[in-house]
Amino acid sequence: MADSTLHARALGNLLGDWRGGAGSAYQALAERIRLLIVDGRIAVDTRVPAERDLAERLGLSRTTVTAAYRHLREQGLLHSVRGSGSVARLPGAPAMLPAPLETEYIDFSKASPPALPWLPDVARLAADDLAGHLADPGYDPIGTPVLRAAIADRYAARGLPTSPDQIMVTIGAQHAIALLSRALVGRGDRALIEVPTYPHAYEAFRAAGARLVPVPVAPHGPGIDEREETATLVQAIRHSNPVAAYLMPDFQNPTGRTMSRESRAQVLDAAARQGTVVIADETTAELDIDRAGRFPPMAADGRAVLIGSVGKTVWGGIRVGWIRAERPLIRRLLAVRAPGDLGTPILEQLMVARLLGRMDEILALRREQLREGRGRLEALLARAFPSWEVPHIDGGIVTWIGLGSPVSSQLALGARREGLIVAAGPRFGVDGAFERFLRLPICYPPEVTDAAVAALARTWRSLAHSPVAEPEPELLASVV
C-alpha cells in the first residue's frame, strides 16, 4: 500500500508547462512525470492520480494518460496493482529498504559532514547541565536563555551586535524556514527565490501558499558578471513586489556563489523600499576554505532576517537552528509556532550552547576537512570525467558540476543501480530545469568520496554505451 496519495490537482501543479516538443503528448507527459520521480518531487511509494482524474485535470483524453502510465511502468517508474492504483518506483532501488540493505547504498545526496569527534563528550557534559532545568515543564518555544545568549554572542563576534531577545531557537534550519514562510506569506502572495536553490526552502514557501518568483543565480567561478546578476535580483524585487525573498548569500547551495558586500547592500535597499522581508539562510556562512575578504552576517549591510543552525558545522543529527529577527517578528513567530510544535529539546540546546563557545575550533577542523575534500573530489573528477566543468569553490560543502549535456536525471537514475544515491540537477529547480548540472558534496570522508566517484564513472560509461532517450529539449528550461 502506498504511503501517500498525490491528487490530480497537486500533480498538475508539479507538472507545470509540460506540453511541447515534436513527440506525442503521452511521451511528453511520461517524461515530465519521470523527472519528478527521479528528482524526488514525487516520493517513491506515492500513489499517483487515477488515469481518469488526471486526464480530467489536464484536459486530456484518458487514452493519453493511460499510454503515459504504461510507458512509465515499462521503465520501472510505476508499479500498478489492479484495484489499488499505481505507485512511484525507482528501478534498482526499492523505496522502503529493509535495514540490512540500507548500508549497501552510498548516499551522496545529503550535503552534511560527519559528526564532530568530541561530540559524545559534549553530550555527557550537557547531560550534567540538564539537572538545572528539570524543575521546569520542559516546553521551550523560544529557546533557553543560555543558548540565546550564546547565539547572540556569536553574531557579535562576527560583526553584528545582537541581543538574546532577537533570537528564537528552532528545530533546525528547515524548521526556521517553515516558520518564517507561515508567518510572512499569505495564500497568493509572491515570494522570491534564487534558482537553483535549496529545494526544501521553495517547498516550504509553496506549502504556505506562495507564488514563487524565481531569479537565476550563476554558478561560482570566474567570468561571472555579478553586477548584472544583482541588477536582475533588484529588478525582480521592484517589479514583483514579493512579501519575502529567500537568499543564501554565502556559498549558495548548490552553486557555491557568494554575494559581495556591495551586492548585499543593493538588494537589501531595494527590499526595504518595497517592504520585502529578506530571509538570509546562513547555515554554511562560516564554512569558508580560502575565501578572500571579510563577510559579516547579511544583516550588517541592511535589514534582513537571518537563519542559522549547527547541522552543517557540528552534525545533522543535532536538530538545533535559530532565527535572528526584530522583536515584533519574534512575537509573530511564537504565535505561528504553537500549533505545530511546543519547543526545541532542552538537552540538545545545552549541547549547542557549549559547542558555540568552541566554534572557532570547530571551524578550523571543518576548514581542513573541506580543503581536503575539495582537492580530492576535484582530482578524482578530473581523471574520470575530463569533459565535466568542475568549479573551484572557495567554501561551503557542495560543488555544482556542469555535465555538458542534459543527462543529470538519467545519471542519477543509473547511479542507483551502481549503489549510489545522488541528487540530480533538477531537484534544485522548480520546473525541471538544470538537467545539465549535478550537485556533489565535498564534505564526505575520503573512502566514501572515492567509492561515489567510482560508481559515477561506471554509470557514465553505461550511459555512453546504452544511453537512455533524452528528454525533449522543449521540456527543459534554459540553464544558467
Model pLDDT for residues 183-195, shown as the tens digit of each residue? 999 999 999 999 9
- Let me know if residue 345 belongs to a domain: yes
* Residue where one domain finishes, among candidates 325, 340, 360: 360
Q: What is the CATH number of the domain that holds 75?
A: 1.10.10.10
Other residues' Cβ atoms within 10 Å of the Cβ of residue 316? 16
- Let me know if residue 480 belongs to a domain: no
Confidence band for 308, pLDDT divided at 50, 70 and 90: very high
- Let me know if residue 28 belongs to a domain: yes
Section 280-304 average pLDDT? 97
Confidence band for 98, pLDDT divided at 50, 70 and 90: very low
Q: What is the pLDDT of residue 81?
A: 74
Q: What is the pLDDT of residue 75?
A: 87
Does residue 97 have a pLDDT over 90?
Answer: no
Same domain, 352 and 406: no
Q: What is the pLDDT of residue 2?
A: 44
Does residue 276 have a pLDDT over 90?
Answer: yes
Q: How far apart are CA 271 and CA 249, in angstroms?
A: 15
More confident residue, 459 or 223: 459
Confidence band for 13, pLDDT divided at 50, 70 and 90: confident
Same domain, 219 and 356: yes
* Residue where one domain finishes, among candidates 329, 360, 391: 360
Same domain, 385 and 243: no
Same domain, 334 and 216: yes
Confidence band for 418, pLDDT divided at 50, 70 and 90: very high
Same domain, 289 and 182: yes
Section 150-162 average pLDDT? 98
Of the spans 15-24, 343-352, 467-476, which averages the highest pLDDT?
A: 343-352
pLDDT, one tens digit per residue, over 57-81 is 999 999 999 999 999 998 888 988 7
- How many domains in the chain? 3
Q: What is the pLDDT of residue 292?
A: 94
Q: What is the pLDDT of residue 20?
A: 60
Q: For residue 53, what is its C-alpha cell? A: 482524474
- Let me know if residue 94 belongs to a domain: no
Q: For residue 413, what is its C-alpha cell? A: 537514475
* Residue where one domain finishes, among candidates 327, 360, 393: 360
- Which of 391, 393, 451, 396 shows the shortest CA–CA distance to 420? 451
Q: What is the pLDDT of residue 221?
A: 55
Same domain, 382 and 444: yes
Domain coverage including residue 314: 119-360
Which range is least confidently modeled, 174-183, 340-349, 365-374, 428-437? 428-437
Which range is least confidently modeled, 173-177, 229-233, 275-279? 229-233
Which range is least confidently modeled, 331-340, 341-350, 423-432? 423-432
Question: DSSP letters of 415-437?
Answer: HHHTTEE--BGGGGSSSS--TTE
Same domain, 341 and 463: no
Model-level pTM?
0.81
Same domain, 349 and 400: no
Same domain, 163 and 252: yes
Same domain, 248 and 337: yes
- Let me know if residue 128 belongs to a domain: yes
Confidence band for 1, pLDDT divided at 50, 70 and 90: very low
Residues 6+ apart with CB under 8 A from 370: 113, 287, 289, 395, 396, 397, 442, 443
Among left, alpha and beta (phi > 0; psi -120 to 50; other), residue 432 is: left
Confidence band for 14, pLDDT divided at 50, 70 and 90: confident
pLDDT, one tens digit per residue, over 466-478 is 544 443 333 332 2
Asked whether the beta carbons of 176 and 323 are under 8 A apart, the reply is yes
Same domain, 406 and 312: no
H-helix or E-strand spanning residue 173: helix 173-184
Confidence band for 43, pLDDT divided at 50, 70 and 90: confident
By 3-state DSSP, what share of the chain in percent is helix, strand and coil, each rounded to 5? 45, 15, 40
Q: How far apart are CA 177 and CA 260, in angstroms?
A: 23
Q: What is the pLDDT of residue 375?
A: 98
Q: What is the CATH number of the domain that holds 456?
A: 3.90.1150.10
pLDDT, one tens digit per residue, over 219-232 is 765 556 788 889 99
- Let me know if residue 285 belongs to a domain: yes
Q: What is the pLDDT of residue 4?
A: 77
Q: Residue 301 burial by CB count (10 A; 0-12/13-18/19+): exposed, middle or buried?
A: buried
Which range is least confidently modeled, 124-128, 183-187, 206-210, 462-466? 462-466
Section 430-457 average pLDDT? 93
pLDDT, one tens digit per residue, over 354-410 is 999 999 999 999 999 999 999 999 999 999 999 999 999 999 999 999 999 989 988
Q: How much is the mean pLDDT over the chain? A: 89
Same domain, 463 and 403: yes
- Let me know if residue 179 belongs to a domain: yes
Among left, alpha and beta (phi > 0; psi -120 to 50; other), residue 407 is: alpha
Does residue 22 have a pLDDT over 60?
Answer: no
Q: What is the CATH number of the domain that holds 326?
A: 3.40.640.10
- Let me know if residue 50 belongs to a domain: yes
